[in-house]
Structure 1
Amino acid sequence: MAAHESIPEIEYEALPDGSLAANLAAGAFAGIMEHTVMYPVDAIKTRMQIVNPTPSAMYTGIANAVAQISSTEGARSLWRGIASVALGAGPAHAIYFSTYELVKQRLGGNEGEEHHPLAVATAGACATIASDALMNPFDVVKQRMQVHGSTYESIADCARTVYRSEGVRAFYISYPTTLAMTIPFTAIQFTCYESLAKVLNPKKRYDPLTHCVSGGLAGAAAAAITTPLDVIKTLLQTRGTSTDLRIRNCSGLLDAAKIIKERGGMTGFFRGLRPRIVTTMPSTAICWTSYEMAKYYLYRDQNVD
């Protein structure tokens, strides 16, 4: 029992110096948990962000969307494409968190008791550049399967169809926009998380409650600020499913922004804001809690061995 009581004193944040493999495993576990638990709300967000949706795919809110989709397509349709996320999230988040921890360590972000916001923000930006390069094609497949009227039989069928009709470029046309969104999103999220964690958990002990609260609040703030870029990303990733030639031929971030402005005004950039926050807040809370838990126990086991 004495040995067990000494466990909370372990400086579990020193994990990146101990084992890259453990850090990868923790990140993969966190990523899968983050992207699967709130998937139905993410599907609703995608549909609400579609420019010029069909009348049968127009929703006034999350509850209305759930009721309408469930009654006309079946509740299972809210889970279409989840396999793509589950397949890509593990390795992408393994890269994400291992890059974050490595860069933060190299920039001195783990030194002393003081806060290092610049090191944290830079590490977060580097992490998202690396992970999004892997995750972007999986995200394209996911959103193609989430849209109303999707006829793809599986993620493999979707990937093959997109590749044959639009080429490899379709999987990465949104990558610059994704980076333009996720770099500030990650920088904001990581900085807010580390700042809140410093205040709520100054002794840096393993504390699931503070990890959960810090992660949720950090995710909500980052999601709200970056929603306009998420709307642009959705247009680019689903353009191949549109019957509107202007949208189908959209060439990139600026062109997509112009279309959104023309069709919906400035409010068009905030479509899906509420479900994005509703998705992101618990997702990031789950992600950080899962990551810190996995990191803590993996590091503890290494020390016990």
Structure 2
Amino acid sequence: MASEQAPLPFGYTFAAGAIAGVSEILVMYPLDVLKTRIQLQTGKPTAGADHYNGMLDCFKKIVKNEGPSRLYRGITAPILMEAPKRATKFAANDKWGKFYRDLFGQQQMTQGLSVLTGASAGATEAFIVVPFELVKIRLQDKASAGKYNGMVDVVVKTVRNEGLLAMYNGLESTLWRHILWNAGYFGCIFQVRQLIPKAETKKGQTINDIIAGTVGGTVGTIFNTPMDVVKSRIQNTIKVPGQVPKYNWAWPAVLTVFKEEGFGALYKGFIPKVLRLGPGGGILLVVYTGVMDMFRKMRDERLGKQL
């Protein structure tokens, strides 16, 4: 198993995380667009073109009314974000894991340390992704389609109209979202790997990683979807001087959504989100593990030539 082998320097874990992240987003991005559209929808769905009665209805209406290319609108920001985001996720998880093992005097990772490590890695990751997430959300929203001409235009107009710090709108909710997802993701990966038979072949290891990563991604999504809903709304809110935004802080925003729209609204966009991040979590883990194994092989071959 990759986690039991000799550790590689930080640069290798960072590069492997970056490759894994970009691979996942290229495959799963349209589901993220569907998720965001549904999350930004307030009130009860109607039969109009601007309202969606679920994931399939959202997909059909986007393709019919806006064209298939709209399913990839805003992908530049996530692509630019995915390398540092996923790289930071795995590299930070590796570093925090070593820190906590030393802090608590543990030779091996435990279930509790896996959850704590994942949460810490999620908090670290959140600081990287907030500006990219804000750009992505505003490009994905149909109401913003005529406001921005692309990623750079979003940044310019946001900074000009709302101030530089507006690029970090939603930082608190993003912190909660990533802490909850990563705690569930890495905690479940540890637990699932303990429960399933240890792989004896490379193919078996890949299957185990798919299972562990998919379970981890699904559980993480169940934990963090309410925070993802309010994060989307917070980041899509234009700050107006002198006005207190309806969605501002994470937990009060959760309460507002619950009071006005019911508990189910906190899980808007859950199906496309879990369809992306469940299998997406498996893709991440498989690619990351595969790239790390390749790096180890290259290192070992290089060391062998030097002997």
TM-score using structure 1 length: 0.87
- Separation (CA, whole Å) in 1 of partners of 2:5 and 2:132: 29
Match for residue 297 of structure 1 among 287, 291, 294? 294
> Which one is further off, 250-259 or 65-74?
250-259
Secondary structure of 1:18's aligned partner: coil
Residues 111-126 of structure 1 aligned to structure 2 (within 5 Å): 116-126=110-120
Secondary structure of 2:154's aligned partner: helix
Return closer, same or farther for 1:139/1:186 CA change in 2, 3 Å cut-off: same
Deviations along 1:57-91, one digit per CA (max 9) or x if unpaired, are 21112222111110100010110111100001101
Residues 35-50 of structure 1 aligned to structure 2 (within 5 Å): 35-50=25-40
1:104 aligns with 2:97: yes
Task: Give the equivalent residue in structure 2 for 1:81.
Answer: 74
- Separation (CA, whole Å) in 2 of partners of 1:284 and 1:69: 26
Task: Give the equivalent residue in structure 1 for 2:42.
Answer: 52
8 Å contact from structure 1 (residues 24, 97) kept in 2: yes
Shift of 1:200: 2.5
8 Å contact from structure 2 (residues 213, 278) kept in 1: yes
Residues 124-143 of structure 1 aligned to structure 2 (within 5 Å): 124-143=118-137
Task: Give the equivalent residue in structure 2 for 1:272.
Answer: 269
Residues 63-212 of structure 1 aligned to structure 2 (within 5 Å): 63-108=56-101, 116-149=110-143, 150-151=145-146, 152-202=148-198, 207-212=205-210
- Separation (CA, whole Å) in 1 of partners of 2:228 and 2:196: 30
Deviations along 1:9-53, one digit per CA (max 9) or x if unpaired, are xx6325673322111111111121223321111111101011437
Task: Give the equivalent residue in structure 1 for 2:227.
Answer: 229
8 Å contact from structure 2 (residues 217, 277) kept in 1: yes
8 Å contact from structure 1 (residues 51, 263) kept in 2: no
Count of residue correspondences: 292
Secondary structure of 2:247's aligned partner: coil
Task: Give the equivalent residue in structure 2 for 1:217.
Answer: 215
4+ aligned runs moved over 6 Å, structure 1: 109-112
Return closer, same or farther for 1:200/1:282 CA change in 2, 3 Å cut-off: same
- Separation (CA, whole Å) in 2 of partners of 1:204 and 1:124: 27
TM-score using structure 2 length: 0.86
Secondary structure of 1:240's aligned partner: coil
What stretches of structure 1 of length at least 5 have no aligned partner?
1-10
8 Å contact from structure 1 (residues 43, 78) kept in 2: yes
8 Å contact from structure 1 (residues 12, 300) kept in 2: no
Residues 241-260 of structure 1 aligned to structure 2 (within 5 Å): 248-260=245-257
- Separation (CA, whole Å) in 2 of partners of 1:161 and 1:247: 20
Task: Give the equivalent residue in structure 2 for 1:31.
Answer: 21
> Which one is further off, 55-64 or 221-230?
55-64
Secondary structure of 1:211's aligned partner: helix
Return closer, same or farther for 1:154/1:241 CA change in 2, 3 Å cut-off: farther
Return closer, same or farther for 1:247/1:84 CA change in 2, 3 Å cut-off: farther
